[in-house]
Amino acid sequence: KYLNYGTAGFRDNYKLLHGIFIRIGILASLRSSSLDSNCIGVMITASHNPEEDNGIKLIDKDGGMLHQSWETNAESLANASINDLNDI
């Protein structure tokens, strides 16, 4: 299943999300580096929906959503196969 990054970050069944948490940490580090090492937040969310409906998202240096220009990077990294990670 292809995971899409939206205003709520990645939101889906936790069984699909647990494998991308490390990748999102890597993306946060890359985003921080692109912003002269400013802090980037990583938020793990749980909603009022069923317990298997969870999410993870990045918070940009201004406290807002991840800049839209980086959403494609998030999706590419989250959806890449292990063999494709070196190409991203």
**What Å distances lie between residue 44 and 7, 21, 47, 81, 84, CA to CA?**
14, 9, 10, 22, 25
Which residues are catalytic, by number? Answer: 47
Other Cβ atoms closer than 10 A to 35: 14
